[in-house]
Chains A and B, each alone.
Chain A
Amino acid sequence: MMLVRALWADLLKIRGKGIWFLIFLGPLGLIAMQSLNYGFRYDYMMRRYATDPWGGLAENVMMFVPIAIYLGMTLVCSLIAGVEHQTSAWKQLLALPISRKAVYGAKLLLAAALLAVSCLLLSAATAVLGLLLGFGTAPPFGMLLRMSFAPYAGALPVLALALWLSVTMRNQSLPVTIGVAAALISPFAPQLGEWFPLSWPLFSFAGALQAAMIAAGIGLGAAIGLLGLAHFHRKDVDEG
């Protein structure tokens, strides 16, 4: 109940901060890139993926999902925490009769939910693009949802870490630098193997260990989330 109230308050606070713009920009940007990709070499692409046009499109979109999702998570978490940092609102918020767990939990949930909206938009926009390209068959919605939500699950550890760092540090340069670094490394991460968490978004959708990678992402994400929660619960608020 307290969690819901905190979440409801947070929804109001993020208004006009450009967060919703980011949530739309991410998926629509990826789809704009693919419409150029397919637009410029339509015949080639259609011939190349003639047996499975939807699978081909998903594969092309998916290549950029990890990097986009890491960037999105970093910026969204930083903006959500920044609302409280900017004008030293933490002390006011935490002196209210609400538990710290609810405050932190609401922010984590909000960040996760906003990114989930992006994922949903990405699946929907991919379906629309496929139809516009004249694939001729009904969109395989299950596969399109997996294309965005499997990498999302694999990326959850970074979401939990980004929120923790952004909430803990008043200066956002370190959390943002770490998040951007994770995004930039992610295309090369799969070469290091499945043990490397930054490879999980890709291996959650492609490869032999998809279910395990999804589970690992959710598990590690939850663990980092709980650690952040425990730390926030005990933290002294003596600045800001």
Chain B
Amino acid sequence: MYRGRAAVDSLDLEIAEGDIYGFLGPNGAGKTTTIRMLLGLIKPTSGSIRMFGRDLKKDKLKVLRQIGSLVEYPSYYGHLSATENLEAIRRILDVPKSRIDEVLAIVGLTKEARRPVRGFSLGMKQRLGIAAALLGSPRMLILDEPTNGLDPSGIQEIRELIKDMPRRYGMTVLVSSHLLGEVEQMASTVGIIREGRMVFQDTIGNLRRQAGGGLRLAVSAPQDALELAREAGMEGTMQEGRLLFAGMSDRDAARLVRLLVERGHDVYRVEEERKSLEDIFLSMVEEDAS
């Protein structure tokens, strides 16, 4: 519970091994709450969390051993150098010392390794955070808003880095964002939550398919035509004298047009109604939102 309402309610994230999963939702939808619960930082008020087929409460350390994480704004020890920051984590993870140089190379901080992190730019701190997440060679990376507050080139760097993870290191990535455009270019699957509930979870391809396929018609008697379509099982809406049908298959489109012509309607225009992904995303997360 969070301020009186459940921040997150029965979520099931289906993340395939080796996939990049975009976890989307507007600010306050419960992304960070979910991620903090996955990492055992906060406890669910009721119910349980299962990951990799294990109960998080019972096998917390075994689960966390397989996860590398970066939660919101970067965590670091400013008075220590990048190497020392990683060493502090390495001592807990108990991985070989050579791993530090490896992860520094992956995130491109080898040259800055000896400088105190205090003087790093936000982008460098974020890259150090990713290096820390990689240190234990986890099976899964959980990155919460990793590009928040970065400039465009910083965003690009982090994005490239994340894209490489499954391909080069076989890791599965969960990356959250409040912007679809942010993860669109790297994620293959997206889960969209609103007010703590999953409203969409599928491949980005299927999300794109939803974006297209709408039909807009201009006809002589729109009100009658709308009625006719409804009788034929096609629910449409009227907008500025035009008929709108969402998600029409080619077959349905042909059937509708034929029906209209057969019943004596003049069909002036038949147009494809294409929404941007961002529109779809917004309509999903804004629907009867207070």
Does the CB pair B88–A97 fall under 8 Å?
Answer: no
- Distance of A228 Cα from B42 Cα, bound (Å): 18
Identify the stretch in A80-88, A109-117, A132-140, A143-151 within 8 Å (CB) of chain B at 4 or more residues. Answer: A80-88
Count how many chain B residues have C-beta atoms less than 8 Å from C-beta atoms of the other chain: 35
| A12: B residues at CB distance < 8 A | 80, 84, 87-88, 91
Is B132 at the interface (CB under 8 A from chain A)?
yes
| A99: B residues at CB distance < 8 A | 61
| A112 CB → nearest B CB, Å | 20
| A5: B residues at CB distance < 8 A | 91-92, 94
| A19 CB → nearest B CB, Å | 11
Chain B residue nearest in CB terms to A99: B61
| A17 CB → nearest B CB, Å | 6
User: Which residues of B, 59-96, contact A by the 8 Å Cβ criterion?
Assistant: 61-62, 64-65, 67, 69-80, 84, 87-89, 91-94
Does the CB pair B91–A237 fall under 8 Å?
Answer: no
Chain A residue nearest in CB terms to B93: A96
Is A95 at the interface (CB under 8 A from chain B)?
yes
Is A230 at the interface (CB under 8 A from chain B)?
no
Chain B residue nearest in CB terms to A90: B75
Cross-chain contact of A94 among B33, B40, B65, B79 (Cβ < 8 A): B40
Is A6 at the interface (CB under 8 A from chain B)?
yes
Does the CB pair A89–B75 fall under 8 Å?
Answer: yes
| B84: A residues at CB distance < 8 A | 12, 15
Is A91 at the interface (CB under 8 A from chain B)?
yes
| A43: B residues at CB distance < 8 A | none
Is B39 at the interface (CB under 8 A from chain A)?
yes
Is A98 at the interface (CB under 8 A from chain B)?
yes
Cross-chain contact of A91 among B41, B77, B78 (Cβ < 8 A): B41
- Distance of A30 Cα from B13 Cα, bound (Å): 61
Is B146 at the interface (CB under 8 A from chain A)?
no
Is B242 at the interface (CB under 8 A from chain A)?
no
- Distance of A62 Cα from B207 Cα, bound (Å): 75
Does the CB pair B41–A9 fall under 8 Å?
Answer: no
Does the CB pair A86–B78 fall under 8 Å?
Answer: yes
Cross-chain contact of B92 among A6, A86, A87, A89 (Cβ < 8 A): A6
Counting chain A CB atoms within 10 Å of each CB, which of B36, B79, B136 scores highest?
Answer: B79
Does the CB pair A15–B80 fall under 8 Å?
Answer: yes
Does the CB pair A95–B40 fall under 8 Å?
Answer: yes
Chain A residue nearest in CB terms to B118: A87
Cross-chain contact of B75 among A8, A16, A92 (Cβ < 8 A): A92
Cross-chain contact of B67 among A17, A91, A94, A95 (Cβ < 8 A): A95
Is B43 at the interface (CB under 8 A from chain A)?
yes
- Distance of A8 Cα from B43 Cα, bound (Å): 28
Does the CB pair A95–B71 fall under 8 Å?
Answer: yes
| A116 CB → nearest B CB, Å | 22
21 A-B contacts, Cβ less than 8 Å apart? A5-B94, A9-B89, A12-B80, A13-B88, A15-B80, A17-B79, A88-B73, A89-B75, A92-B75, A92-B129, A93-B92, A94-B40, A95-B64, A95-B67, A96-B89, A97-B62, A97-B64, A236-B41, A236-B42, A237-B41, A238-B42
- Where the two chains meet, the residues of B that have a C-beta atom closer than 8 Å to any C-beta of A are 33, 36, 39-43, 61-62, 64-65, 67, 69-80, 84, 87-89, 91-94, 129, 132, 136
Taking A16-B80, A87-B77, A90-B75 as known contacts, 15 extra A-B pairs with beta carbons closer than 8 A to each other, sorted by chain A number, are A5-B91, A6-B92, A9-B88, A12-B88, A16-B79, A87-B75, A92-B75, A92-B132, A93-B92, A95-B64, A95-B69, A96-B64, A97-B62, A236-B41, A236-B42
